[in-house]
Amino acid sequence: MDRKHFYGVDLLRGLCALGIVVYHYPHFAEQHPGYRLLEPVYLHGMLFVQCFWMISGFVFSHVYAGSSITAGEFALRRFARLYPLHIITLITITITQGVSLKYLGTTQVIGNFDLYHFVMNVLFITPGWGYDGSFNSPIWSVNVEEIVYAIFFVFCAAIFRWRAALPVLLALLAAAIAFVPAGRVNLFGLCGFYFFAGSALYYFLTRTMAAYPLQSALLSVIVAVAVFSVLTSFPGWALGSLYFLLPFVFFTPVMVVAICIDQSGALHRPLVRLRWVGDATYSIYLWHFPVQVAILTGIAIFGLPATLFGSRFALIGWIVLMLAIGRASFVYLERPIQKAILALGRKRQQLLPQGAGVTNL
């Protein structure tokens, strides 16, 4: 059995991407099919981003904890993983928003369709860091996470030298930063909190799971309650209670269950067969907004009725469409381009004079 891949966690990541897809469905003329069942997703679906960040902290700890990877190799992997699909979807949404502006006199869903915002997006920087939507707006969560990646890299070799003390400390520091300045949640702090909470969760549920599975799960819940108590003691915590406490209290037990399933080997075969959903997460997340803008533009140009989106069948069709696009994008775009860039980057490193570049690991 392959114990190196957490299939349950991977599936959870894919389901979070689909949650975002449903959360943004009301862009189709404010339609909410299946509202009685999906009310929490329609109202609070933006909180799935926090689960993304927590899963990232878990996965990065699994891959890089104790690693001596160089800065060059780490940066190359991040660039190859994130930037190519970002540029492809950025170009796509630029074209579709341009068509909308030309034929309809306005952009779809969001504005800020100008040269400044385009250049900043090309540089992989989101103006406003999540508070100033432009172009392929969902990329903001990845841009915020880049800073946390850099912080993690600094500590990755020694992240668990004192067991889970360092990631817990970093999570609490990030939580404190999240309330500065007062008035709105600092998204860097929010991201850092969930990322390093995921890192701490990795230690609790993998380093001690084999010998003490029940105790590890119980300790994780105790730590979650303790962190909850600390967070509520910060001045202004009520401002961030929706963004900090609700997803933390909800996603921590879900993560614990997914990890325990992976560690126990239960449901291994069906989870392996569903791996493609997790693999397609990034593609689903980045493509759903450009595809939605393209559909909205076409509907408006041809004068089709908004009631098209009011049925549950339309919602199911939207989810199936994004699963298909995400899978195709991963297989034919995301993975091949990533492999090509990694091969090219590592070949270039090998051609550099000794000491002039990073070491190939």
pLDDT tens-digit readout, 2-57: 447 889 999 999 999 999 999 999 998 788 888 888 888 998 888 899 999 999 99
Domains of the chain, by residue range, sit at 7-346
**Positions in the chain whose pLDDT score sits under 50:** 1-3, 352-361
What is the distance between the alpha carbons of residues 223 and 204, in angstroms, rounded to a whole number? 10
pTM (two decimals)? 0.87
Residue 359 DSSP SS3: coil
CB-CB contact of 55 with 13 (8 Å) = yes
According to the model, what pLDDT value does residue 352 have?
Answer: 42
Dihedral sign computed on CA atoms, order 312, 317, 96, 289: positive
According to the model, what pLDDT value does residue 359 have?
Answer: 28
Q: List Cβ<8 Å contacts ≥24 apart for 225-233.
A: 227/168, 227/171, 227/172, 227/175, 227/197, 230/172, 230/175, 231/175
25 secondary structure, DSSP code: G
According to the model, what pLDDT value does residue 340 have?
Answer: 92
According to the model, what pLDDT value does residue 361 have?
Answer: 31
What is the distance between the alpha carbons of residues 26 and 41, in angstroms, rounded to a whole number? 11
What is the distance between the alpha carbons of residues 160 and 199, in angstroms, rounded to a whole number? 9
What is the distance between the alpha carbons of residues 281 and 283, in angstroms, rounded to a whole number? 6
What is the distance between the alpha carbons of residues 315 and 317, in angstroms, rounded to a whole number? 5
* Single-letter amino acid code for the residue at 72: G
CB atoms within 10 A of CB 143: 21
Tokens standing for 254? Answer: 């879900």
H or E element that contains 178 = none
Tokens standing for 14? Answer: 């894919």
According to the model, what pLDDT value does residue 175 have?
Answer: 84
According to the model, what pLDDT value does residue 151 have?
Answer: 94
